[in-house]
Structure 1
Amino acid sequence: MDDLLIRPLEPYDTGEAAAVWWRSRHAEGSLLPAAIHTAEQVAAWFAEVLLPDAQTWVALDDGRIVAVLTLDGDDLDQLYVDPDVAGRGVGSTLVDFAKDLRPGGLALWTFQTNLRAQAFYQAHGFVEVRRTDGAENEERAPDVRMTWGNHPEALTRHS
Protein backbone atom coordinates (compact mmCIF):
# COMPACT_ATOMS: atom_id res chain seq x y z
CA MET A 1 0.00 0.00 0.00
CA ASP A 2 2.46 2.58 -1.23
CA ASP A 3 -0.14 5.33 -1.61
CA LEU A 4 -1.31 5.18 2.02
CA LEU A 5 -2.15 8.61 3.42
CA ILE A 6 -2.17 9.19 7.18
CA ARG A 7 -3.93 12.29 8.45
CA PRO A 8 -5.76 13.47 11.57
CA LEU A 9 -9.35 12.36 12.09
CA GLU A 10 -11.77 15.05 10.87
CA PRO A 11 -15.41 15.51 11.91
CA TYR A 12 -16.63 14.16 8.56
CA ASP A 13 -14.53 10.97 9.11
CA THR A 14 -16.09 9.77 12.33
CA GLY A 15 -18.79 7.55 10.84
CA GLU A 16 -16.45 5.85 8.37
CA ALA A 17 -13.69 5.46 10.99
CA ALA A 18 -16.15 3.96 13.48
CA ALA A 19 -17.29 1.51 10.80
CA VAL A 20 -13.67 0.36 10.31
CA TRP A 21 -13.36 -0.13 14.09
CA TRP A 22 -16.63 -2.10 14.11
CA ARG A 23 -15.70 -4.33 11.15
CA SER A 24 -12.31 -5.05 12.68
CA ARG A 25 -13.77 -5.92 16.08
CA HIS A 26 -16.34 -8.24 14.49
CA ALA A 27 -14.23 -9.82 11.75
CA GLU A 28 -14.23 -13.58 11.56
CA GLY A 29 -11.41 -14.93 13.70
CA SER A 30 -10.76 -11.56 15.37
CA LEU A 31 -10.07 -13.22 18.76
CA LEU A 32 -11.63 -10.18 20.44
CA PRO A 33 -14.48 -10.12 22.91
CA ALA A 34 -17.67 -8.81 21.35
CA ALA A 35 -18.10 -5.07 21.54
CA ILE A 36 -20.45 -4.13 24.35
CA HIS A 37 -21.72 -1.05 22.50
CA THR A 38 -23.85 -0.78 19.39
CA ALA A 39 -22.43 0.47 16.11
CA GLU A 40 -24.31 3.73 16.69
CA GLN A 41 -22.77 4.14 20.14
CA VAL A 42 -19.30 3.53 18.69
CA ALA A 43 -19.91 6.18 16.02
CA ALA A 44 -21.01 8.63 18.73
CA TRP A 45 -17.89 7.79 20.76
CA PHE A 46 -15.72 8.60 17.74
CA ALA A 47 -17.51 11.93 17.24
CA GLU A 48 -17.91 12.96 20.87
CA VAL A 49 -14.80 11.53 22.57
CA LEU A 50 -12.03 10.48 20.19
CA LEU A 51 -12.34 13.49 17.88
CA PRO A 52 -12.17 16.22 20.55
CA ASP A 53 -10.27 14.51 23.37
CA ALA A 54 -7.66 12.20 21.80
CA GLN A 55 -5.10 12.26 19.04
CA THR A 56 -6.67 10.11 16.36
CA TRP A 57 -5.44 9.51 12.84
CA VAL A 58 -6.91 7.68 9.91
CA ALA A 59 -5.07 5.84 7.17
CA LEU A 60 -6.58 6.20 3.72
CA ASP A 61 -6.02 4.09 0.65
CA ASP A 62 -7.51 5.44 -2.54
CA GLY A 63 -9.62 7.90 -0.53
CA ARG A 64 -11.13 5.21 1.72
CA ILE A 65 -10.39 4.95 5.45
CA VAL A 66 -8.71 1.59 6.00
CA ALA A 67 -7.37 2.01 9.55
CA VAL A 68 -7.66 4.07 12.72
CA LEU A 69 -4.94 4.95 15.25
CA THR A 70 -5.53 6.75 18.54
CA LEU A 71 -2.86 7.90 20.95
CA ASP A 72 -3.87 8.93 24.45
CA GLY A 73 -0.73 10.45 25.91
CA ASP A 74 1.88 7.72 25.50
CA ASP A 75 -0.73 4.98 25.21
CA LEU A 76 -1.41 3.44 21.84
CA ASP A 77 -5.11 3.37 22.68
CA GLN A 78 -6.70 2.20 19.43
CA LEU A 79 -5.29 0.49 16.35
CA TYR A 80 -7.83 -1.10 14.07
CA VAL A 81 -7.33 -2.09 10.44
CA ASP A 82 -10.16 -2.89 8.07
CA PRO A 83 -10.25 -6.68 7.59
CA ASP A 84 -10.26 -6.14 3.80
CA VAL A 85 -6.68 -4.80 3.96
CA ALA A 86 -5.33 -6.71 6.96
CA GLY A 87 -1.90 -8.22 6.37
CA ARG A 88 -0.81 -5.58 3.85
CA GLY A 89 1.38 -3.50 6.18
CA VAL A 90 -1.13 -0.83 7.19
CA GLY A 91 -0.89 -1.71 10.89
CA SER A 92 2.90 -1.76 10.75
CA THR A 93 2.93 1.64 9.07
CA LEU A 94 0.71 3.05 11.83
CA VAL A 95 2.82 1.53 14.62
CA ASP A 96 5.93 3.11 13.07
CA PHE A 97 4.03 6.42 12.81
CA ALA A 98 3.09 6.17 16.52
CA LYS A 99 6.73 5.42 17.45
CA ASP A 100 7.85 8.50 15.52
CA LEU A 101 5.31 10.59 17.44
CA ARG A 102 6.28 9.08 20.82
CA PRO A 103 10.02 8.34 20.58
CA GLY A 104 10.23 8.13 24.38
CA GLY A 105 8.11 5.00 24.41
CA LEU A 106 4.60 3.64 24.09
CA ALA A 107 2.34 1.35 26.06
CA LEU A 108 -0.83 -0.49 25.09
CA TRP A 109 -3.41 -3.00 26.21
CA THR A 110 -4.51 -6.01 24.22
CA PHE A 111 -6.81 -8.84 25.19
CA GLN A 112 -5.16 -12.09 26.30
CA THR A 113 -7.27 -13.95 23.74
CA ASN A 114 -5.85 -11.82 20.92
CA LEU A 115 -2.70 -13.83 20.32
CA ARG A 116 -2.36 -12.38 16.82
CA ALA A 117 -2.15 -8.82 18.20
CA GLN A 118 0.36 -9.87 20.86
CA ALA A 119 2.59 -11.46 18.20
CA PHE A 120 2.19 -8.38 15.97
CA TYR A 121 3.26 -6.01 18.75
CA GLN A 122 6.12 -8.27 19.84
CA ALA A 123 7.37 -8.24 16.24
CA HIS A 124 7.37 -4.44 16.53
CA GLY A 125 9.49 -4.43 19.68
CA PHE A 126 6.79 -4.34 22.36
CA VAL A 127 7.28 -6.48 25.45
CA GLU A 128 4.74 -7.76 27.92
CA VAL A 129 4.95 -6.11 31.33
CA ARG A 130 1.87 -7.53 33.05
CA ARG A 131 -1.44 -9.37 32.73
CA THR A 132 -4.73 -8.63 34.43
CA ASP A 133 -8.01 -10.42 34.98
CA GLY A 134 -9.82 -7.70 33.01
CA ALA A 135 -11.67 -6.27 36.00
CA GLU A 136 -10.67 -2.74 34.93
CA ASN A 137 -11.79 -2.86 31.28
CA GLU A 138 -15.30 -2.48 29.87
CA GLU A 139 -15.43 -5.98 28.47
CA ARG A 140 -14.23 -7.54 31.76
CA ALA A 141 -11.88 -9.65 29.63
CA PRO A 142 -8.35 -10.58 30.73
CA ASP A 143 -5.77 -8.34 29.09
CA VAL A 144 -2.05 -7.81 28.59
CA ARG A 145 -0.06 -4.60 29.09
CA MET A 146 2.81 -4.16 26.62
CA THR A 147 5.41 -1.43 26.26
CA TRP A 148 7.95 -0.26 23.71
CA GLY A 149 11.06 1.85 24.11
CA ASN A 150 11.82 3.69 27.31
CA HIS A 151 8.25 3.79 28.53
CA PRO A 152 8.26 4.13 32.36
CA GLU A 153 6.25 0.92 32.78
CA ALA A 154 8.97 -1.04 30.98
CA LEU A 155 11.20 -0.42 33.99
CA THR A 156 8.70 -1.91 36.45
CA ARG A 157 7.77 -5.27 34.93
CA HIS A 158 5.25 -7.35 36.80
CA SER A 159 4.31 -10.98 36.42
Structure 2
Amino acid sequence: MALSVKQLERRDMGAVAIVHRISFDDRLPWLAGLHTPDEDRSFFSTVVFDDCEVWGSFDGAELIGFIAFKEGHIEQLYVLPEYQFKGVGSGLLAIAKQRNRELSLWTFQRNDAARRFYESRGFVAVEHTDGARNEEREPDIRYLWRA
Protein backbone atom coordinates (compact mmCIF):
# COMPACT_ATOMS: atom_id res chain seq x y z
CA MET A 1 0.00 0.00 0.00
CA ALA A 2 1.44 3.35 -1.07
CA LEU A 3 -0.35 5.73 1.31
CA SER A 4 -0.04 9.49 1.34
CA VAL A 5 -1.54 12.18 3.55
CA LYS A 6 -2.37 15.77 2.69
CA GLN A 7 -4.50 18.65 3.89
CA LEU A 8 -7.81 18.68 2.06
CA GLU A 9 -9.64 21.55 0.43
CA ARG A 10 -13.31 22.27 -0.15
CA ARG A 11 -13.08 20.69 -3.61
CA ASP A 12 -12.42 17.35 -1.82
CA MET A 13 -15.75 17.65 0.02
CA GLY A 14 -17.58 15.12 -2.19
CA ALA A 15 -15.00 12.39 -1.57
CA VAL A 16 -14.99 13.20 2.16
CA ALA A 17 -18.78 12.88 2.32
CA ILE A 18 -18.60 9.47 0.60
CA VAL A 19 -15.92 8.13 2.98
CA HIS A 20 -17.96 9.41 5.92
CA ARG A 21 -21.19 7.75 4.77
CA ILE A 22 -19.59 4.37 3.94
CA SER A 23 -17.69 4.21 7.23
CA PHE A 24 -20.54 5.58 9.35
CA ASP A 25 -23.07 3.11 7.93
CA ASP A 26 -20.63 0.20 8.35
CA ARG A 27 -19.82 0.97 12.02
CA LEU A 28 -23.24 2.25 13.04
CA PRO A 29 -25.76 0.26 10.98
CA TRP A 30 -28.62 1.11 13.34
CA LEU A 31 -28.18 4.76 12.22
CA ALA A 32 -27.67 4.05 8.49
CA GLY A 33 -29.59 6.36 6.20
CA LEU A 34 -29.91 9.10 8.79
CA HIS A 35 -28.98 11.67 6.12
CA THR A 36 -29.11 11.74 2.34
CA PRO A 37 -25.91 12.10 0.26
CA ASP A 38 -26.94 15.71 -0.53
CA GLU A 39 -27.32 16.46 3.18
CA ASP A 40 -23.88 14.93 3.84
CA ARG A 41 -22.24 17.07 1.15
CA SER A 42 -23.97 20.20 2.43
CA PHE A 43 -22.84 19.49 6.00
CA PHE A 44 -19.23 19.02 4.98
CA SER A 45 -19.28 22.03 2.67
CA THR A 46 -20.96 24.51 5.01
CA VAL A 47 -19.88 23.27 8.44
CA VAL A 48 -16.82 21.02 8.46
CA PHE A 49 -14.72 22.76 5.80
CA ASP A 50 -15.69 26.18 7.22
CA ASP A 51 -14.81 25.34 10.82
CA CYS A 52 -12.08 22.69 10.67
CA GLU A 53 -8.69 21.74 9.37
CA VAL A 54 -9.33 18.61 7.28
CA TRP A 55 -6.66 16.05 6.39
CA GLY A 56 -7.02 12.98 4.22
CA SER A 57 -5.21 9.70 3.72
CA PHE A 58 -4.95 8.35 0.19
CA ASP A 59 -4.19 5.01 -1.42
CA GLY A 60 -2.98 6.28 -4.76
CA ALA A 61 -5.64 8.78 -5.85
CA GLU A 62 -8.41 7.28 -3.67
CA LEU A 63 -9.37 9.02 -0.42
CA ILE A 64 -9.53 6.26 2.19
CA GLY A 65 -9.86 8.23 5.41
CA PHE A 66 -10.00 11.72 6.85
CA ILE A 67 -9.85 13.68 10.06
CA ALA A 68 -11.46 17.07 10.71
CA PHE A 69 -10.40 19.03 13.78
CA LYS A 70 -10.30 22.51 15.19
CA GLU A 71 -8.37 23.83 18.14
CA GLY A 72 -8.71 21.28 20.91
CA HIS A 73 -11.46 19.18 19.34
CA ILE A 74 -11.80 16.36 16.80
CA GLU A 75 -15.05 16.73 14.87
CA GLN A 76 -14.72 13.76 12.51
CA LEU A 77 -12.42 10.76 11.98
CA TYR A 78 -13.52 8.13 9.47
CA VAL A 79 -11.67 5.41 7.55
CA LEU A 80 -13.11 3.15 4.87
CA PRO A 81 -13.87 -0.30 6.36
CA GLU A 82 -11.33 -2.17 4.21
CA TYR A 83 -8.54 0.16 5.45
CA GLN A 84 -9.37 0.00 9.15
CA PHE A 85 -6.87 -1.67 11.51
CA LYS A 86 -4.00 -0.80 9.13
CA GLY A 87 -2.70 2.38 10.77
CA VAL A 88 -4.66 4.87 8.66
CA GLY A 89 -6.68 6.25 11.57
CA SER A 90 -3.61 6.36 13.80
CA GLY A 91 -1.73 8.36 11.19
CA LEU A 92 -4.55 10.86 10.85
CA LEU A 93 -4.95 11.15 14.61
CA ALA A 94 -1.22 11.85 14.92
CA ILE A 95 -1.67 15.00 12.79
CA ALA A 96 -4.27 16.39 15.21
CA LYS A 97 -2.10 15.46 18.20
CA GLN A 98 0.90 17.26 16.68
CA ARG A 99 -1.13 20.46 16.38
CA ASN A 100 -2.86 20.37 19.77
CA ARG A 101 -1.75 19.88 23.37
CA GLU A 102 -5.24 18.71 24.29
CA LEU A 103 -8.04 17.10 22.26
CA SER A 104 -11.60 16.18 23.04
CA LEU A 105 -14.11 14.26 20.96
CA TRP A 106 -17.47 12.53 21.16
CA THR A 107 -18.29 8.99 20.10
CA PHE A 108 -21.34 6.82 20.62
CA GLN A 109 -21.31 4.44 23.57
CA ARG A 110 -22.28 1.52 21.31
CA ASN A 111 -19.34 2.17 18.94
CA ASP A 112 -17.02 -0.33 20.65
CA ALA A 113 -14.38 -0.20 17.90
CA ALA A 114 -14.06 3.60 18.17
CA ARG A 115 -13.91 3.42 21.95
CA ARG A 116 -11.10 0.84 21.84
CA PHE A 117 -9.27 2.89 19.20
CA TYR A 118 -9.29 6.11 21.22
CA GLU A 119 -8.65 4.50 24.60
CA SER A 120 -5.63 2.63 23.23
CA ARG A 121 -4.24 5.97 22.04
CA GLY A 122 -4.41 7.73 25.38
CA PHE A 123 -7.93 9.18 25.37
CA VAL A 124 -9.85 8.99 28.65
CA ALA A 125 -13.65 9.01 29.01
CA VAL A 126 -14.67 12.14 30.92
CA GLU A 127 -18.43 12.36 30.32
CA HIS A 128 -21.26 9.97 29.47
CA THR A 129 -24.66 11.18 28.24
CA ASP A 130 -28.04 9.64 27.50
CA GLY A 131 -27.99 11.10 23.96
CA ALA A 132 -30.66 13.71 24.60
CA ARG A 133 -28.36 16.48 23.28
CA ASN A 134 -27.32 14.85 19.99
CA GLU A 135 -29.24 14.60 16.75
CA GLU A 136 -29.20 10.80 16.75
CA ARG A 137 -30.54 10.54 20.33
CA GLU A 138 -27.80 7.98 20.89
CA PRO A 139 -25.96 7.73 24.25
CA ASP A 140 -22.45 9.05 23.77
CA ILE A 141 -19.12 9.59 25.50
CA ARG A 142 -16.80 12.57 25.53
CA TYR A 143 -13.11 11.65 25.50
CA LEU A 144 -10.13 13.79 26.41
CA TRP A 145 -6.44 13.47 25.53
CA ARG A 146 -3.59 15.60 26.86
CA ALA A 147 -0.02 15.67 25.57
Work out whether the TM-score is over 0.5: yes
**2:69 touches 2:76 (CA, 8 Å); kept in 1?**
yes
Task: Give, in whole Å, the separation in 2 of the partners of 1:41 and 1:9.
Answer: 20
Provide Cα deviations, 1:121-150, integer angstroms capped at 9, x if missing partner.
Answer: 010000111100111111111000111116
Question: Could you tell me which residue of structure 2 aligns to residue 141 of structure 1?
Answer: 138
Alignment of 1:95-114 (within 5 A): 95-102=93-100, 104-114=101-111
Give the CA deviation at 1:33.
4.6
- 1:57-72 matches, cutoff 5 A: 57-72=55-70
- CA RMSD across the alignment: 1.5
Q: Distance in 2 between matches of 1:92 and 1:31?
A: 20
Secondary structure of 2:31's counterpart equals: coil
Q: Distance in 2 between matches of 1:113 and 1:119?
A: 11
Runs of 5+ unmatched residues, structure 1: 151-159
**TM-score if structure 1 supplies the norm length?**
0.85
Q: In the alignment, what sits opposite 2:112?
A: 115
Q: Which of 73, 76, 81 is the aligned partner of 2:71?
A: 73
TM value normalised by structure 2: 0.92
Cα distance in 2 for partners of 1:33, 1:92 equals 26
Give the deviation of 1:31 after TM superposition: 3.8
- Identical-residue share of aligned pairs (%): 38
Q: One-letter code of the match for 2:117? A: F
Structure 1 stretches of at least 4 aligned residues deviating more than 3 Å after TM superposition: none
Alignment of 1:8-157 (within 5 A): 8-27=7-26, 30-31=27-28, 33-34=30-31, 36-102=34-100, 104-149=101-146
Q: 1:122 to 1:70 in 2, by over 3 A?
A: same
> Residues 20-58 of structure 1, C-alpha deviation per residue, up to 9 Å, x if partnerless?
00000111xx14651522111101111222122221111
SS of the equivalent of 2:136 reads: coil
What SS is found at the alignment partner of 2:141? strand
Contact 2:56 2:92 in 1 (8 A): no
Distance 1:124 1:32, change over 3 A: farther
